[in-house]
Chain A
Amino acid sequence: MSASSQTFRLAPKAGLGGEIDRDKPLRFTFNGKSYQGYAGDTLASALLANGVDVVNRSFKYSRPRGVVAAGAEEPNAIVQLGASEAAQVPNVRATQQALYEGLSARGTNGWPDAQRDMMSLVGKFGGPFMPVGFYYKTFKAPASLWMTYEKYIRKAAGLGRAPGESDPDIYDHMNRHCEVLVVGAGPAGLMAALTAAAGGVRVILCDEQETFGGSLRDRDETIDGLPAPEWARQTIERLAAMANVTLLPRTTANGYHDHNFVTLHERRTEHLGDTAPMVDGRRRSRSRLHRVRARHVVLASGAHERPLVYAGNDVPGNLLAGAVSSYIRRYAVMPGRRLVLSVTNDHAYRAALDWQAAGGEVVAIADARANPDGELVERARAAGIRVIAGSAVIEATSDRKGHRVNGARVAAIDIEGFRLSGEAEVLACDTIASSGGYSPVAHLAAHTGIRPVWRDDILGFVPGQAVDPVKGFSVVGGAAGVYALPALLEGAAVKVTQALAADGIHVDASEPPAVESIREGEAIGLYHVPHDKPTMRAPKQFVDLQNDVTAAAIELATIEGFESIEHVKRYTAMGFGTDQGKLGNINGMAIAARCLGQTIPETGTTVFRPNYTPVNFGAIVGRHCKELFEPERYTAMHQWHVAHGAKFEDVGQWKRPWYYPQRVNGKLESMHEAVARECLAVREKVGVLDASTLGKIDIQGPDAREFLGRIYTNGWEKLAVGKARYGLMCKDDGMVMDDGVTTCLGDNHFLMTTTTGGAAAILEWLEIWHQTEWPELEVYFTSVTDHWATMTLTGPEARNLLAELTDVDLDRDSFKFMEWREGVVAGVPARIYRISFTGELSFEINVQANYAMQVWESLFAHGNKYGLTPYGTETMHVLRAEKGFIIVGQDTDGSMTPEDLGMHWCVGYKKPYSWIGKRALTRSDTRREDRKQLVGLKPLEADVVLEEGAQIVFDPKQAIPMRMVGHVTSSYYSPTLERGFALAVVKGGHKRLGERVYLPMADGKTHAAEIVSPIFYDPQGSRQNV
């Protein structure tokens, strides 16, 4: 491909194509064909330079579509980017995608490609005549077939596709804080940033385009004696040199959230290649989400030009007037040869003047106003351009395939009467540009609930009053409906000065720049151009090009009874999807208003939600993915567990050893085998568990004991120094929320343990009661979970092993069950707690975590002869369940009282203070006899292990749906008992010991089980007391 393929590229000329570099040609492919463009091009400008008319097929009707706009509002040129499968990016606007060497893109819709679309032959579904609500009406019945329909509809619809391979790029987030965030770097935004920067405050200026400057890039007025684009360039340079200013080009403000929190999506390397290039062997993110907290948000997002709605207005060759100027001036690209312009305002005349100056033929300007007389109109007339007053393009005609405009039907129109007032004239042309005025970009403001309000003087909606009076928020320039350069620059400076003054920041108001002003005539309101046929029968007149919504569809919706604009929107899909109504919304509302016989403000507007333009998932996720998806919390012995082949279980964010499969006869044990071995080791010899993850809270203060008495269900007043006690905690609704052993270290000093998952929540629980209800109690809580490493040594040989390593007297009479001692273990100062969660003789050794491995390894160095076996959480679960010890959150679910659990022994009914949860235990509901109560279940067949969660019934013969009376909460195979066993909750279960229940399973089998005590092993508790 040579430069000669760029048949629509203008020859070099001063003032044209200032943004491209002709010395840097770039190759790219579109729909498999190779083309050439230049550095500085967008994909859209390069396609237009190469005369590519059809860039896509439309969403619903599969009609050929071309480039319409030059910015984010582009509805048609939406492409799938990426040469390789892994680099696929859907929904990219060609008008915002910078060209790079080797860029490869395809139109999003159309099969096999947009030029030769097969879907249009069948018209997708229902032929070419698909009325509004077609899907709702056609596929609504029978309901059972919807899944089938949907599959094909989705296939046909096509909104791009996700890559089928892992994304090689990385993405990240950056948190930013500033006093002034300016969204949009057009004339108003630059002025606002300049003003704020002069105040010395932190300023962030972002703009979604490759290049700052906004409309200044397309104007030839002079500012301070400089041509507008040059003034913009110099202003940007000044800002870039200021330390308090951050400039973010290629950065879209996509969401405006509460309290001036704005998300900015910066495309950092999207202009450089399919994947982010490495720099000095280091990766950098492809795109970045900036999370900005701003004291003031200045919305300078400008305005989108509104196209006129006329028949055939979707055929390639129909463009926005402003886009014509943009392509000519920025990229030296003529989007055609012969132009017809249809306008309602003076501003759009620039397109014709630029077209002619670039050497194109302006066939005519159809101006809807009866007497256009502004300065630009005079210039056009003086240049010999035919201006047809009181008229509009009513229809674009096209070649047979609809691939390009070949003529414009222009007629005199009666706007009030919505009819033609003269015969249509056909003008041969290849391009029709239209301008129905300008719509301030109010999207971002609407995100926080600021409703747009209609202004007759500018014929558009502008952001209304902020609903949050505290918020620093201002709208400047085109976004506020201020279009004339002098007023816009001055207004931006004044608003920012005032906003900062409200915070006591003084800005020296410098003279606003001197701007050449152009006298403009008044614009007229025209949205939908009448046709010689009624709207329903006229050729399609598109309102929303991206969603294929026509004027007829909106009219039909109103006829079918949709009166609220929100309902019309949902029925027709107008403004849906990635488009968010950028071009079509106002026209659609105007049409609905006319059909309903209302004004536009009476009809109202829909509002917009984040995101303004699509954001890739990568940017949303940032670095919170793969190995950094979620924190993994490690104990001090974690590396040992890894080295010894442990399988891990996630408990909250902790990685806990689940079991340690051993290689037996060359084969790795299954979980069942490993757990059986670990269980028997603990019951017969000695095992060790890393219990460091248990929550630990240090409690100090003279009222510590009183506090414990109020927060726990049981009594603490008599717990002596040196002793430990199991405690149960309820919420004030009487339901168990946590449990654990608390130790009395000193009269005013306790160590509370909590469940692993509950540690943070319990600390907050203690604080909320202390801070809000009992601030008079003198007590402090401090988390020491991570400080201590905890090793549970348990089994008949535990004492013999520990005795080899410690100076503590372990004799059963001097160190009793539920006591603690301080001493040295393996040379390390330790606290030893004689508590047991297995039912065996147990010692919990606690040392400062940095010394944990010395102790842990010493245990194993001495433990071999005793058969010391490391065990994991699965074995811990089996052993505790054999003893009927509950796990809060597994055997309880927030609806179990201590009494439901059969733990009356742990309830201090006579404590003087009405502790948390006590009152609820006498409510009628908690006194019911048929509450679900914790019991043991013994399957009649010994080898059956019931499913956890399995539902329980009394009568297996009853009709479905059966009456469910409870469920299994914990279920295991016990290698000690050599049978399956379970804990379960059963209605009135405590009085049903010995009764039989049934568990019907999904596979049709029904298990029978006997209700028994939940304590399956050593019910006297003698083994832990030896």
Chain B
Amino acid sequence: MFHIYCPYCAEYREEEEFHPRGQAHIARPADPEATSDDAWGDYLFFRDNPRGVHHELWVHAVGCRKFFNITRDTRSYAILETYRMGERPTVTANGPEAVPSATATLTGALA
């Protein structure tokens, strides 16, 4: 049962108030019609499953209803940080420089 710091409510809240929405920083291709079937399929269906640091999109569903990101260690379940939409993570598997460029833009929703 996670204890999650909501960056908008500015306090720790119980997991029951949240919904996980999968991997974070999946941006919708800017021009879908110009996107190949393969690339579109990747965007829709393919997700990372790392052992270790992972960035996830969550929503404070029973609360402020805001979406935000969680950086979580999938081994220990430790939540390393939470950050608002549009912000970059400061904790990544290989240091801040390894953050995919998509994080510089706004993050995307799940298909």
Q: Do A and B share a complex? A: yes
**Could you list which residues of chain A lie within 8 angstroms of chain B, going by C-beta atoms?**
257-261, 293, 449, 467-471, 731-733, 764, 767-769, 771-773, 775, 914, 918-920, 923-924
Say yes or no: A919 contacts B40, CB within 8 Å: yes
In the bound complex, CA of A764 to CA of B37 (Å)? 28
Is A764's CB under 8 angstroms from B85's CB? no
Question: Could you tell me the distance between the alpha carbons of A609 and B45 in the complex, rounded to whole angstroms?
Answer: 34
Q: Which residues of B contact A259 (CB under 8 A)?
A: 1-3, 77, 79
Q: Is the CB of B1 within 8 A of A773?
A: no
Contact yes or no, A261 B1, CB < 8 A: yes
Min Cβ gap B19→A in Å is 7
Q: Which of B47-55, B58-66, B93-101 contacts A (4 or more CB under 8 A)?
A: B58-66
CB of A771 within 8 A of CB of B78, answer: no
| Interfacial chain A residues near B86, Cβ < 8 Å | 775
Contacts known (A764-B19, A914-B31, A924-B37); A468 close to B111, Cβ less than 8 A: no
Contact B85 A449 (CB under 8 A): no
Q: Quick one: given A768-B59, A772-B67, A772-B107, are A258 and B2 in contact (CB under 8 Å)? A: yes
Which 8 pairs across A and B sit closest by C-beta, in order of nearness?
A919-B32, A259-B3, A732-B111, A468-B78, A467-B76, A261-B1, A914-B32, A468-B76
**7 A/B residue pairs, CB under 8 Å, sorted by A:** A258-B3, A259-B2, A467-B78, A773-B109, A918-B32, A919-B40, A923-B37
CB-CB < 8 A to A731: which residues of B? 111
Contact A764 B61 (CB under 8 A): yes
A258 touches B1 (CB 8 A): yes
Instruction: Report Cα–Cα, A469/B43, bound state, in Å.
Output: 34
Query: How long is the Cα–Cα vector from A258 to B79 in the complex, in angstroms?
Result: 10
The one of A449, A733, A775, A924 in contact with B76, judged by C-beta atoms closer than 8 angstroms, is: A449
Residues of the A chain whose Cβ atoms lie less than 8 Å from the Cβ of B21: 768
Contacts of A920 on B, CB cut-off 8 Å?
40, 44
Chain A residues whose CB sits within 8 angstroms of the CB of B33 once the complex forms: 914, 918-919
Name which residue of chain A comes closest to B25, CB basis: A772
Is there an interface contact between A768 and B78, defined as CB atoms closer than 8 Å? Answer: no
Which of B1, B40, B41, B66 has the largest number of chain A CB atoms within 10 A? B1
Select from chain B the residue with minimum beta-carbon distance to A923: B37
Which residue on chain A has the smallest CB distance to residue B37?
A923
Q: A772, B3: Cβ atoms under 8 Å? A: no
Cβ of B106 and Cβ of A773 under 8 Å apart?
Answer: yes
Which residues between 69 and 103 of chain B lie within 8 Å of chain A, taking CB atoms?
73, 75-80, 85-86
Residue among A469, A914, A919 with the most chain B CB within 10 A?
Answer: A919
Q: Is the CB of B3 within 8 A of A775?
A: no
Q: Is the CB of B65 within 8 A of A767?
A: yes
Q: Which of B3, B35, B79, B111 contacts A733 (CB 8 A)?
A: B111
Tell me if B111 and A775 are in contact (CB < 8 A): no
Please tell me if the beta carbons of B35 and A919 are within 8 angstroms of each other in the complex.
yes
Across-interface contacts of B1 in A (CB, < 8 A): 257-259, 261
Q: Taking the complex as formed, is B14 at the interface, i.e. its CB lies under 8 A from any CB of chain A?
A: yes
The reply to whether B77 and A775 form a contact with Cβ atoms under 8 Å apart is no
Whether B6 sits at the interface, judged by CB under 8 Å, is no
Q: Give chain A residues whose Cβ lies under 8 Å from the Cβ of B80.
A: 470
Complex contacts, B31 vs chain A, CB 8 Å: 914
Known contacts: A468-B77, A775-B85, A914-B32. The answer to whether A768 contacts B110 by CB under 8 A is yes
Chain A CB within 8 A of B20 CB: no
Partner of A260, one of B3, B43, B73, B108: B3
Q: Please give the distance in Å from B48's CB to the nearest CB on chain A.
A: 18
Chain B residues, CB < 8 A from A767: 59, 65, 67
Asked, given contacts A259-B79, A260-B3, A732-B28, whether A771 binds B67 with beta carbons under 8 Å apart, the answer is: yes
- Bound-state CA distance A88–B109 (Å) is 51
Closest to A469 in B: B78
Find out whether the CB atom of A293 lies under 8 angstroms from the CB atom of B67.
no
Q: In the assembled complex, which residues on chain A have CB atoms less than 8 Å from the CB atom of B76?
A: 449, 467-469
Q: How far is the CA of A732 from the CA of B45 in the complex (A)?
A: 10
Q: Which residues of B contact A772 (CB under 8 A)?
A: 57, 67, 85, 106-109
- Min CB distance A943 to B, Å, is 44
Residue pair B19, A773 in contact (C-beta under 8 Å): no
Contacts of A771 in B (CB 8 A): 66-67, 85
A468 to B75, CA, bound (A): 9
Residue among A261, A471, A731, A771 with most chain B CB within 10 A: A771
Residue of A with least CB distance to B32: A919
Interface 1/0 per residue, B1-34 and A, CB below 8 Å: 1110000000000100001010000011001110
Task: Quote the shortest CB–CB distance from A98 to chain B (angstroms).
Answer: 31
Let me know if A769 and B109 touch, CB within 8 A: yes
Contact of B44 among A258, A467, A732 (CB under 8 A): A732
Contacts of B27 in A (CB 8 A): 773
A979–chain B nearest beta-carbon distance, Å: 41
Q: How far is the CA of A731 from the CA of B110 in the complex (A)?
A: 9
Chain A residues within an 8 Å CB radius of B32: 914, 918-919
Q: How far is the CA of A923 from the CA of B32 in the complex (A)?
A: 11
Chain B neighbourhood of A257, CB < 8 A: 1
Chain A residue numbers with a CB within 8 Å of B14 are 293
- Are A764 and B3 in contact, with the CB atoms below 8 A? no
Which residues from chain B contact A923 at a C-beta distance below 8 Å? 37, 40-41
Interface pair B106/A470, CB less than 8 Å apart: no
Q: Closest residue of chain B to A730, judged by CB?
A: B111
Q: How far is the CB of A77 from chain B (nearest CB, A)?
A: 33
Given A257-B1, A259-B3; A733-B78 close (CB under 8 Å): no
Q: How far is the CB of B23 from chain A (nearest CB, A)?
A: 12
Instruction: Report the Cα distance A764→B65, complex, angstroms.
Output: 8
In whole angstroms, how far apart are the Cα atoms of A449 and B77 in the complex?
10
CA distance A919 to B29 in the complex (A): 10
- Residues of B near A768 (CB, < 8 A) are 21, 59, 67, 109-110
**A135 to B108, alpha carbons, bound, how many Å?**
54
* CB-based contact B109/A471 at 8 Å: no
- Excluding A259-B77, A733-B45, 10 further A-B contacts by CB distance (< 8 Å) are A259-B1, A259-B79, A260-B3, A449-B76, A467-B75, A732-B44, A733-B44, A767-B59, A768-B21, A772-B106
Roughly how many angstroms separate A914 CA and B59 CA in the complex, as a whole number?
Answer: 25
- Report the minimum CB–CB distance from A772 to chain B (whole Å): 5
Smallest beta-carbon distance B78→chain A, Å? 4
B69's nearest neighbour on chain A, judged by CB, is: A772
In the bound assembly, the distance between CA atoms of A958 and B76 in angstroms comes to 55
Chain A residues within 8 Å of B67, by CB: 767-768, 771-772
- Chain B residues near A467: list those with CB within 8 A: 75-76, 78
Pick from B27, B40, B86, B107 the residue with the most CB of A within 10 Å: B40
CA distance A771 to B7 in the complex (A): 14
Complex interface: chain A residues within 8 A of B107 (CB): 772
CB distance from A422 to the nearest CB of B (A): 52
Chain B residues whose C-beta falls within 8 Å of the C-beta of A773 in the assembled complex: 27-28, 106, 108-109
Q: Closest CB-CB distance, A780 to chain B, in whole Å?
A: 11
Greatest chain B CB density within 10 A among A259, A469, A775 is at: A259
* Contact present for B106 and A775 (CB under 8 Å): yes
Chain B nearest Cβ from A861, distance in angstroms:
41
Alpha-carbon gap, A686 to B9, bound state (A)? 50
In the assembled complex, the Cα of A392 lies from the Cα of B5 at a distance in Å of: 57
Chain A: CB-nearest residue to B44 = A733
- In the assembled complex, the CB of B30 is this many whole angstroms from the nearest CB of chain A, namely 10
Q: A767 to B27: give the CA distance in the assembly, Å.
A: 16
Asked if residues B79 and A470 are in contact (CB atoms below 8 Å), the reply is yes
- Chain A residues, CB < 8 A from B44: 732-733, 920
Chain B residues with CB below 8 A from A260, complex form: 3
Residues of B within 8 A of A914 (CB): 31-33
Q: A772 CA to B108 CA in the complex, in Å? A: 5
Q: Which of B57, B108, B109 has the most CB of A within 10 A?
A: B109
Instruction: Report the Cα distance A729→B52, complex, angstroms.
Output: 36
Interfacial chain B residues near A732, Cβ < 8 Å: 28, 43-44, 109, 111
Other-chain residue from B40, B43, B59, B108 in contact with A764 (beta carbon distance below 8 A): B59
A residues within 8 A CB of B35?
919
> Which residue of chain A is the closest to B78 with respect to CB atoms?
A468
Minimum Cβ distance to chain B for residue A267 (Å): 23
Q: What's the minimum C-beta distance from A334 to chain B, rounded to whole angstroms?
A: 46
In whole angstroms, how far apart are the Cα atoms of A923 and B38 in the complex?
9
Q: Are A293 and B40 in contact (CB under 8 A)?
A: no
